[in-house]
Structure 1
Amino acid sequence: MLYFPSTNSAAHRPADRDVTRLHSLLDDDVWAFANCRVEAPGLPVAEIDWFFYNTRTGCLMVSEWKKFPKSVAVAADVGEPWVLADGSAVPNAIEQVTKQQRALRRAIERSILPQHFPAHNHAKIAQCVYSPQISEATDIERLQFGRVHGALSALASVVQTLPSPSPLLLNDDDGARLSLARALCALFRCSMSPGVEAKLRAAPAKATTSRAAVVKRISEIHREMAKLHRELAELAMAGQPAEPRPIMVKPALIKPAATKPAGTPVSAGGMIAGPAAGLSDQERMRKHLSHAFHNVNGSADAARAALGKAWVAVLRDPALNGKQGISLAVFGSAAAPMVKAKHESVRKLVGMQLIKWCLIQAEQTGLKAIAAPGNPSNVQLR
């Protein structure tokens, strides 16, 4: 990585360990400008944490780095705040980096493209958010723009490999790299060390791909495919009614139906709670949903009321509210077939984050529910 730090002594500086880590993850094809200050006509001054330019792929990327006091429970798309593990809301980081991207694009199109990339009228700039408080437990919505990363290795992998729909590629025969680097430093108010300048003056090495890098990328692709297959299987199951299980009973063994013992827990949908029902969590939730949505008309109000009734029944079901809490991902998947025909999605029906809506429904019925400790995408009773 060729690193260009800010010249502003008052600017926030990245941690040395993060810069060192990026150096180990990125090769010199990637230029990294830190703590950039970008002024674009008609827009507020943008303070940009990191700007990356991959000279091999021609890809530009702006990255917002965030640190939160608690782990991120929900990373929402634009329009809603992010939610931390303690339930507090914080400004949406995707919205922040989108504003920075606008200013950056306008500045590059005015100051960089005419001289260094005259064949291009528009700059395509990818965007992402990095936060060490994002983990596998974070509920990351399907984002319309950009990506979010909780590990520098994941961020670096994207910067190193992401192609551009309109790549900005330089001619290396006429000193174009050094000229462009100086122009970007002037635009971003960054400096160029003598070591970086010496590398830019030298002929660029031809890109080579080691076998280790190939094997690593193949492994990453297989893991991504496996994750997609799991998601596809869950969606396919959510759209299919549960098949009845065949029961083989010998006539000689038939006994009169026993009266259900007093005190046996019963769910709000009328089913016996507990493992005796022999249903998976998703099947139990689907039973509650079917009961709540029976004879419901197509209005959004009626569908929301039915969904709230089903959620309360799920929350009160002792077979579902275990130590790990109730999975909102499973509940949303089970509810999707009930609402998507007329209301597109559960999220659009309720008009907010599912976890926020579920907690509100519980409170309105007198139940005290919280995000499950250690697993904020689940909900459990106090």
Structure 2
Amino acid sequence: MLHFPSKNTAAHTADRAEVTRLHQLLGDHVWAFSNCRADAPPLPVAEVDWLFYNSLKGTFILSEWKRFPAGVQRVSDVGEPWVLAGGTTVGNPVEQVARQLDAVRRVLRLTVAPLHFPALDPHDINPYQSVYSPQIGPGTEVERLRFGAVHGSLEGLVETIERRYTPTPLILSSQPEQLVLAGTLADLFRCSVPAAVRRKLDPPAAVPAAPSPRIAAIHRELAALHLELASLLDPQPVVAAPAPISASTLVPAPLLSQGNDVPSSLIAKATKSAPPAPAIKAAKTSASGHLKGHVTRLVPASKPTSDNLRNAFLAALQDGQLKSSGVHIGLFGSFVGQHLTGEVKLTDLAPGGLTKWCHAQAEAAGIRIVKDAREPSVVRTVRPTNSQKEAV
């Protein structure tokens, strides 16, 4: 339910628990104007407890709320008072709401219809009247009413609001038109439009998310996947060096144990027939571990700065363990991206691209680096020549 409370601070207000219950029972397609005033000269100003507008059905329901000191024994149509338990009589609320209905109907026909429903005949607009009193119970005798309905529970009132039908529905399809109609009704019935209601009638346009953070995240994910694929395709096991080949491993033991002179031709033949020693594969994982160690040691996981990234890169360039392999800038960036956990991204630390940034940092530090001929992402330090030293 969208609630439009009265602008008049001195006006009576509905019970808070009952208003909360209405919020639970009614959806936002029902607009509720509480403690409002209908000013339709020459008719007297009407004080209206509740005016409901069902924006899906296009119906208006006027509701007068009454509380009595005792249970209602008899509900009568116009012309007779209501009877409470014990025989006490009170003014007939059906007659009261009928007078209010005249003023509300006049406002809707003369002002609302021409502005918002010009295609409809104003005389076809006819709100529905009702009375709600919690003192009406199962034992109340209710006379058949010519117009409107009476309710002893909010659930019964809500059922009328939701199911009420009219042959001339007042429906606006577009959201901007509904917002204008809400403002018109609030002004005519002296009610306010709370900010929460206005946001629901006119929600702010969705702001598309900036693509750059997601693109950076995709690059980091791709780098991590490439590393994982590389480890699966080339696990790079560390192979132990084979034991040196001696004559004892190639020549039968009995010949040696007997102290016989073994012919040189036999030793040469055995040596020639021995399988070649397996090549020792370089453990590149050691170089990767060194490179990753500089990142984890010098670059904080959260709130890092460009200085932290520069220190890690320069430390890797001067690491003797990385002299032969060089520094793989792509791998270096991948380790940094996986290491970061805060809001700062690699692109924030190395503006303009990591490769260009790394070359600039090395140059600023006086370190000369060159790209590997076969792998441009790998850089190595180069000692300055004598002429370069003299120039410096």
Instruction: Place the TM-score, normalised by the shorter chain, in its bin.
Output: 0.5 to 0.7
Note if contact 1:124-1:165 (Cα within 8 Å) is conserved in structure 2. Answer: no
| Partner in structure 1 of residue 156 of structure 2 | 154
- Where structure 2 has 5 or more consecutive residues not aligned to the other structure, the ranges are 205-392
| Partner in structure 1 of residue 69 of structure 2 | 69
| Partner in structure 1 of residue 208 of structure 2 | none
Secondary structure at 2:64 match in 1: strand
Secondary structure at 1:112 match in 2: helix
Secondary structure at 2:60 match in 1: strand
Q: Does 1:181 align with 2:182?
A: yes
Note if contact 1:51-1:62 (Cα within 8 Å) is conserved in structure 2. Answer: yes
Deviation at 1:202, TM superposition (A): 3.7
| Partner in structure 1 of residue 133 of structure 2 | 131
CA–CA separation in structure 1 for the residues paired with 2:65 and 2:119: 32
CA–CA separation in structure 1 for the residues paired with 2:27 and 2:166: 18
Q: Which has the larger radius of gyration?
A: 2
TM-score by length of 2: 0.51
Deviations along 1:73-132, whole A, 9 cap, x unmatched?
000011100000110111111100000000000011111110101122132100100000
- Where structure 1 has 5 or more consecutive residues not aligned to the other structure, the ranges are 204-382
CA–CA separation in structure 1 for the residues paired with 2:178 and 2:203: 10
CA–CA separation in structure 2 for the residues paired with 1:15 and 1:151: 14
| Partner in structure 1 of residue 200 of structure 2 | 199
CA–CA separation in structure 1 for the residues paired with 2:151 and 2:9: 28
- Aligned partner letter, 2:7: T
| Partner in structure 2 of residue 293 of structure 1 | none
Deviation at 1:158, TM superposition (A): 1.1
Deviations along 1:139-169, whole A, 9 cap, x unmatched?
0001101100000011011101211122101
CA–CA separation in structure 2 for the residues paired with 1:195 and 1:9: 19
| Partner in structure 1 of residue 146 of structure 2 | 144
Deviation at 1:40, TM superposition (A): 0.5
- State the identity as a percent: 51
- Aligned partner letter, 2:196: G
| Partner in structure 1 of residue 2 of structure 2 | 2
Secondary structure at 1:114 match in 2: helix
| Partner in structure 2 of residue 107 of structure 1 | 107
Deviation at 1:53, TM superposition (A): 0.3
CA–CA separation in structure 2 for the residues paired with 1:42 and 1:89: 31
TM-score by length of 1: 0.52
| Partner in structure 2 of residue 50 of structure 1 | 50
- 5 Å matches for 1:221-240? none
CA–CA separation in structure 1 for the residues paired with 2:141 and 2:9: 37
CA–CA separation in structure 1 for the residues paired with 2:138 and 2:118: 43
| Partner in structure 2 of residue 169 of structure 1 | 171
Secondary structure at 2:178 match in 1: helix
Secondary structure at 1:33 match in 2: strand
Larger RCO (CA under 8 A, 6+ residues apart): 1
Alignment length (residue pairs):
202
CA–CA separation in structure 1 for the residues paired with 2:150 and 2:173: 32
| Partner in structure 2 of residue 356 of structure 1 | none
CA–CA separation in structure 2 for the residues paired with 1:83 and 1:62: 23
Deviations along 1:184-241, whole A, 9 cap, x unmatched?
00001101111110111149xxxxxxxxxxxxxxxxxxxxxxxxxxxxxxxxxxxxxx
| Partner in structure 2 of residue 378 of structure 1 | none
CA–CA separation in structure 2 for the residues paired with 1:135 and 1:188: 31
